[in-house]
Structure 1
Amino acid sequence: MPTADAAPKTAMQRFLDGVEKVGNMVPHPVVIFLILIAIVIVLSAVLGMFDAAVTFDRINPDTHQIEIASTEIRSLLNTDGIRFMYESLVPNFMAFTAVGLMIAAMIGAGVAEESGLVTALIHKLVIVSPHWALTYILAFVGILASIAADAGYLVLIPLAGIAYLAVGRHPLAGLALGFAAVAAAFTVNMLIKPLDTVLVEFTNDAAALVDPTRSIGLASNLWFSIASVLFLTVIIAFISDRIIEPRLGTYNPKSASEGTTTDQSAMLGEQESRGLRFAGFGLLGLIVVFGLLTIPSWGPLRNPDTGELIGNSPFMSGLITLIVLMFLVTGWAYGIGAGTLRTLTEVIGAIEKSIKNMGGTIFLFFVLSQFVAYFTYTNIGTVMALSLSGVLQAANIGALPLLIGFIIVVAIIDLLLTGAIAKWAIFAPVFVPLLMQLGVEPEAVLAAYRVGDSPMNAITPLNAYFALVVGFAQKYDKSAGVGTIVSLMLPFVVWIYVLWTALFAVWKMLGLPWGL
């Protein structure tokens, strides 16, 4: 990896270089997950022989009632376990939603990239944005990208790398910035998103154990979320500018993979400007169509029972469809205007090209889906989460220290269980009633969960998109590996956890309202 030309390295930079060197010594991600699968199989058999189990209260996701449940370690080497592994090979892969989401997103993104729209938009952004503001703009947009669920991983992260390259900055710094913004702040936004509906519903079910009349609304964390978005935008951009980019130094285009375009210096010409105008017309037409589908009270994309649009509605549930169509329509419109992609045959060719380039990633996801399925089947992660939460629950400490301890436990578990909904279904009936009895409002418990749940997503290999980011990095540096990404993301994770937790503690001590 390129380094700074003259300035001596700080102790932190030398430490991160060591992390990268050690991390890149690990095998290919596919090999890593094959090893993890073997470990899970053996560990499940050993723990299964000792009948390891735990009893707990949980929220039934179907009835939303609190029920007593018992979870035991299930062996993968007994009759049922062997049958499961044999029968579930293809179903595990088909149920891995990240694959379908990635392929769908790349249908539109491939057309936008092949037509030249992505490059033109990045150039336009560079032209109109002050140099100092580019980092902050990308960080802010990356955090807000969570409104589109996981699509931010597939769209914003590679765009951030291209944007940095366009202004002569290190593209790996752009990728790291985008990954930190999308992953490490995933649970907060300035808007209400589908995830909020589930988290709030589980919170209310848990609060009813103490006070059946107590409930919170969808906007119960809105003020804290808005403040967190602005706060984290500054933190992420500052870390990128002051720690990540200085360590990377000057980018050497010779490090790029073969076929990667590194010349992003050309300004917009007449064809590109015309293409952007056509893309604008295409976007306008798409807005009109979706306006007719959503704005009227009878709109088919509204909730058929409540008429709701933002929150629990077909529009929000299928937001990836809007994103795919947006890139597809604007990309083709740009291609027509710029003369780069005119016919339907050329559009299909662009889609085929983008999907062909994902062959390695799809195979990795196939192996990863087996590991996730086996790990879930054995209940190892659930038993570990409940054991840690039980220790924290038994600790006789005050409300704020308990909230901070709760944040730490969620962070640790997030290395193994990355799903925000699955963890909250376990933690809510334990910590919401416990803290309510100590005088803590359920809004505060949910806000603490948001702080603990997100940052570790940027360094855990169990994040379905971690390997994809490694692939993005290898476009610009052939030697990039798991260690490269971990060393880039570690400063983000550490500082976000420390400072975001501090913001939460100050918010709680000042008694500020969490939301509406």
Structure 2
Amino acid sequence: MSQTAVEPKTVMQKFLDVVERVGNMVPHPVVIFLILIAIVIVLSHLLSLMGTAVTLERINAETHEIEQVTTELRSLLNVDGIRFMYSSLIPNFMNFTAVGLMIGAMIGAGVAEESGLVNALIRKLVMVSPAWALTYILSFVGILSSIAADAGYLVLIPLAGIAYISVGRHPLAGLALGFAAVAGAFTVNMLIKPLDAVLVEFTNDAIHLVDPNKSIGLASNIWFSIASVLFLTVVIAFITDRIISPRLGTYEPDQHAGLAKPAESGELSAAESRGLRFALMGLIGLVIVFGFLTVPAGAPLRNPDTGELIGNSPFMNGLIALIMLTFLVTGWMYGIGANTVRTLTDVIKAIEKAITGLGGTIFLFFVLSQFVSYFTYTNMGTVMALKLAEVLQSANIGALPLLIGFIVVVAIIDLLLTGAIAKWAIFAPIFVPLLIKLGVEPEAVLAAYRVGDSPMNAVTPLNAYFALVVGFAQKYDKNAGVGTIVSLMLPYVMWMFVLWTVLFAIWQWLGLPWGL
């Protein structure tokens, strides 16, 4: 990465340079996870021999009843563990949802990119938006992309890199911006999303331990979430412009043979303009079709039992299909209008080209899926979470310090257990009743969990998409590695965690409503 010669490096920049150099000395991500698998196997056996176990109250995901469960460290080197490792090799990979999401998203994104739609849209965005606003727009859209679950990782992050290079800025800054927005603010949105339904359901089960007549609704955190989206949009954009971009300096594509140079930002050609009009017609047609599938009462994509559309419904649960079709249809229609992708054969070739480039990532996901499965089987994450929870629970401190301590514990655990639902199933029956007894609203506990669960997603290599971001970065800098991404994301993680926690503390101190 280049650095401007006229400005001396700050202490923070020197520190991040050291982080990058040290981080890039580590082996290939596949080797890292193979080493971690070996550590988990050996450590699980040693802790199992020591009889490590914890007893907890946990919410049953099927019955939603509270049950007391003793969780023991399970060895991967005893008879049952060896059987599990041998028999689960392929099921572990097949059940790793990130693979399906990635391939599904790339089916549509490949057509949109190959036809030229992505390039034309970004150039249009650059033309109609003030230069200073681009960073804020990408940050805002990145945070909102969590409405589509993990699709933001696969679509928004690479688009942010392309958008930055199109205006002559360093594409790694765009990737970092996109990753921070998508991962670091994953639990909040301006809309109700499927994750909210699950978190609220577990919260209500925990509330009923102390008050069977009290419940919270899907919009119980909506005001805090909206404020968080706006606040984090500014924080992420500010860090990008003031810390990340100055550190990266000017992008020099000639140093990286074979990589795309910044796109021209002039007026669109007649063919490109016609392609965008065709793409708009395709989008309108798609909206009409999905309108028939979602708007009428009893529509196929509504919840068959409750009739709801936003929340737990086929429409929301399968939103990746809508995203795939949106890119596929608009990309093909753009190609017809711009005369770049016309026939079905052209579309298939574009999809094949996009998926062919995922070979290395798919193999990495195969190894990563084994690590996640083995780590889950041993119960290490659950035991660690409960041990930390016991320490915090026994601390004789006030409600607000306890909430802040809870945020810190969730953040620490998030480095190892990145799934928001799995952690909340563990923490909800412990902290929701405890804090209710201290006079804290359950909505505040859920809001605290959102703050603690998100920022670390952007720096932990155990995030299923962390390695994918490394791959995105290597398209622009062949020397980019794990250290590159960690050094880029550390400023975001540190400032987002601190400032978001301060926002939460002020919100709680002022007694502002958390939601509806």
Q: Which amino acid in structure 1 is aligned with residue 40 of structure 2?
A: V
Kept in 2: contact 1:5–1:250 (CA 8 A): no
Count of matched residue positions in the alignment of Structure 1 and Structure 2 = 515
Name the SS for the 2:67 alignment partner.
Answer: strand
How far, CA to CA, are the matches of 1:445 and 1:360 in structure 2?
40
Match of 2:225 in 1: 225
Structure 2 stretches lacking a partner, 5+ long: none
Matches within 5 A, 1:226-305: 226-256=226-256, 258-267=257-266, 268-305=268-305
Kept in 1: contact 2:127–2:265 (CA 8 A): no
CA drift at 1:7: 0.4
Match of 1:399 in 2: 399
Match of 1:62 in 2: 62
Name the SS for the 2:362 alignment partner.
Answer: helix
Deviations 1:447-492 (A, max 9, x none): 0000000000000011000000000000000100000000000000
Asked whether 1:181 is paired with 2:213, we answer no
Name the SS for the 1:58 alignment partner.
Answer: strand
Q: Which amino acid in structure 1 is aligned with residue 260 of structure 2?
A: T
Kept in 1: contact 2:253–2:259 (CA 8 A): no
Name the SS for the 1:47 alignment partner.
Answer: helix
Match of 1:115 in 2: 115
How far, CA to CA, are the matches of 1:4 and 1:193 in structure 2?
42
Matches within 5 A, 1:376-395: 376-395=376-395
Q: Which amino acid in structure 2 is aligned with residue 385 of structure 1?
A: A
* TM-score normalised by the chain length of structure 1: 0.99
Kept in 1: contact 2:45–2:76 (CA 8 A): yes
Deviations 1:364-402 (A, max 9, x none): 000000000000000111100110011000001000000
Q: Which amino acid in structure 1 is aligned with residue 429 of structure 2?
A: P
How far, CA to CA, are the matches of 1:418 and 1:428 in structure 2?
16
Matches within 5 A, 1:89-488: 89-256=89-256, 258-267=257-266, 268-488=268-488
CA drift at 1:261: 1.7
CA drift at 1:255: 3.7
How far, CA to CA, are the matches of 1:159 and 1:255 in structure 2?
22
Kept in 1: contact 2:187–2:453 (CA 8 A): yes
Kept in 1: contact 2:167–2:265 (CA 8 A): no
How far, CA to CA, are the matches of 2:110 and 2:475 in structure 1?
16
How far, CA to CA, are the matches of 2:264 and 2:458 in structure 1?
30
Name the SS for the 1:479 alignment partner.
Answer: coil
Q: Which amino acid in structure 2 is aligned with residue 261 of structure 1?
A: A
CA drift at 1:349: 0.4
Name the SS for the 1:12 alignment partner.
Answer: helix
How far, CA to CA, are the matches of 2:372 and 2:409 in structure 1?
21
Deviations 1:140-165 (A, max 9, x none): 00000000000000000000000000
Deviations 1:160-195 (A, max 9, x none): 000000000000000000000000000000000000
Kept in 2: contact 1:152–1:182 (CA 8 A): yes
- Over the aligned positions, Cα root-mean-square deviation in angstroms equals 0.7
Deviations 1:252-304 (A, max 9, x none): 10343x54322411531111101000000000000000001111112111111
How far, CA to CA, are the matches of 1:116 and 1:173 in structure 2?
23
How far, CA to CA, are the matches of 2:446 and 2:423 in structure 1?
12
Q: Which amino acid in structure 2 is aligned with residue 450 of structure 1?
A: R
How far, CA to CA, are the matches of 1:391 and 1:304 in structure 2?
44
How far, CA to CA, are the matches of 1:217 and 1:81 in structure 2?
41
Q: Which amino acid in structure 2 is aligned with residue 10 of structure 1?
A: T
Name the SS for the 2:56 alignment partner.
Answer: strand
CA drift at 1:431: 0.0
How far, CA to CA, are the matches of 1:89 and 1:201 in structure 2?
32
Q: Which amino acid in structure 1 is aligned with residue 460 of structure 2?
A: T
How far, CA to CA, are the matches of 2:157 and 2:208 in structure 1?
40
How far, CA to CA, are the matches of 1:77 and 1:254 in structure 2?
51
Kept in 1: contact 2:375–2:381 (CA 8 A): yes
Match of 1:498 in 2: 498
How far, CA to CA, are the matches of 2:349 and 2:265 in structure 1?
25
Structure 1 stretches lacking a partner, 5+ long: none
Kept in 2: contact 1:408–1:452 (CA 8 A): yes
Name the SS for the 2:68 alignment partner.
Answer: strand
How far, CA to CA, are the matches of 2:418 and 2:259 in structure 1?
32
Greater alpha carbon shift after TM alignment, 298-307 vs 262-271: 262-271
Q: Which amino acid in structure 2 is aligned with residue 414 of structure 1?
A: D
Match of 1:24 in 2: 24
How far, CA to CA, are the matches of 1:490 and 1:287 in structure 2?
40
* TM-score normalised by the chain length of structure 2: 0.99
Name the SS for the 2:55 alignment partner.
Answer: strand
CA drift at 1:4: 1.4
**Segments of 4+ moved more than 6 angstroms:** none
Match of 2:3 in 1: 3
Match of 1:52 in 2: 52
CA drift at 1:5: 2.6
How far, CA to CA, are the matches of 1:4 and 1:470 in structure 2?
24
Kept in 2: contact 1:255–1:476 (CA 8 A): no
Question: Structure 2 vs 1, CA of residues 234 and 266 (structure 1 numbering), >3 Å: closer, same or farther?
Answer: closer
How far, CA to CA, are the matches of 1:41 and 1:269 in structure 2?
59
How far, CA to CA, are the matches of 1:287 and 1:255 in structure 2?
43
Q: Which amino acid in structure 1 is aligned with residue 273 of structure 2?
A: S
Kept in 2: contact 1:255–1:478 (CA 8 A): no
Kept in 2: contact 1:5–1:249 (CA 8 A): no
Name the SS for the 1:108 alignment partner.
Answer: helix
Q: Which amino acid in structure 1 is aligned with residue 351 of structure 2?
A: I
How far, CA to CA, are the matches of 2:255 and 2:362 in structure 1?
25
CA drift at 1:51: 1.2
Q: Which amino acid in structure 2 is aligned with residue 352 of structure 1?
A: E
Q: Which amino acid in structure 2 is aligned with residue 302 of structure 1?
A: R
Kept in 1: contact 2:126–2:265 (CA 8 A): no
Name the SS for the 2:340 alignment partner.
Answer: coil
Q: Which amino acid in structure 2 is aligned with residue 215 of structure 1?
A: S
Name the SS for the 2:70 alignment partner.
Answer: strand
How far, CA to CA, are the matches of 2:258 and 2:61 in structure 1?
48
How far, CA to CA, are the matches of 2:95 and 2:480 in structure 1?
30
